């Protein structure tokens, strides 16, 4: 097992900007996606994994106070459903859209779906 899902300890969550967020169905697939991302140059320190009730609270906290539009709203709604079904949210720092697309493509090989990128000026749903 690579990165463990974060536990909610009332910690601050990073801002949405500069992150790609999506969902992966199983722990095995999540681990495989993280290994693939490591091979592509993303370190563990640039990634967070969320799961279950702790994950729902952390994702909600990350998105609260956000001025983002429909993409963020849709992601939060989907996140609550995904995490309540035992799936995993993967949050990865991405400096630009190209890096976000690389993240989404790597995760898609391992049941990754619903990835969105939150850039400096725009937000964009990358995968369904």
pLDDT at position 8 over 90:
yes
Is-contact 63 32, C-beta < 8 A?
A: no
Is-contact 36 109, C-beta < 8 A?
A: yes
pLDDT at position 2 over 80:
no
Pairing of strands 19-24, 88-93: antiparallel
Give CA–CA dist 27/16, Å, rounded: 24
39-83, pLDDT tens digit by residue? Answer: 999 999 999 999 999 999 999 988 876 656 777 888 889 999 999
73-111, pLDDT tens digit by residue? Answer: 888 899 999 999 999 999 999 999 999 999 999 999 999
Rounded to two decimals, what is the model's pTM? 0.91
Q: For domain 19-125, is the CATH number 3.30.70?
A: yes
């Amino acid at each position: 097992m690579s990165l463990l899902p974060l536990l909610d300890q009332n910690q601050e969550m990073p801002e949405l900007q500069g992150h790609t967020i999506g969902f992966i169905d199983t722990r095995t697939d999540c681990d495989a996606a993280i290994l693939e991302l490591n091979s592509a140059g993303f370190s563990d320190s640039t990634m967070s994994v969320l799961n279950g009730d702790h994950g729902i609270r952390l994702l909600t906290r990350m998105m609260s106070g956000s001025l983002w539009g429909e993409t963020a709203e849709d992601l939060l709604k989907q996140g609550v459903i995904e995490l309540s079904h035992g799936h995993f949210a993967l949050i990865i720092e991405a400096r630009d859209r190209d890096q976000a697309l690389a993240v989404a493509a790597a995760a898609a090989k391992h049941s990754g779906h619903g990835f969105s990128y939150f850039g400096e000026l725009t937000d964009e749903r990358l995968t369904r």
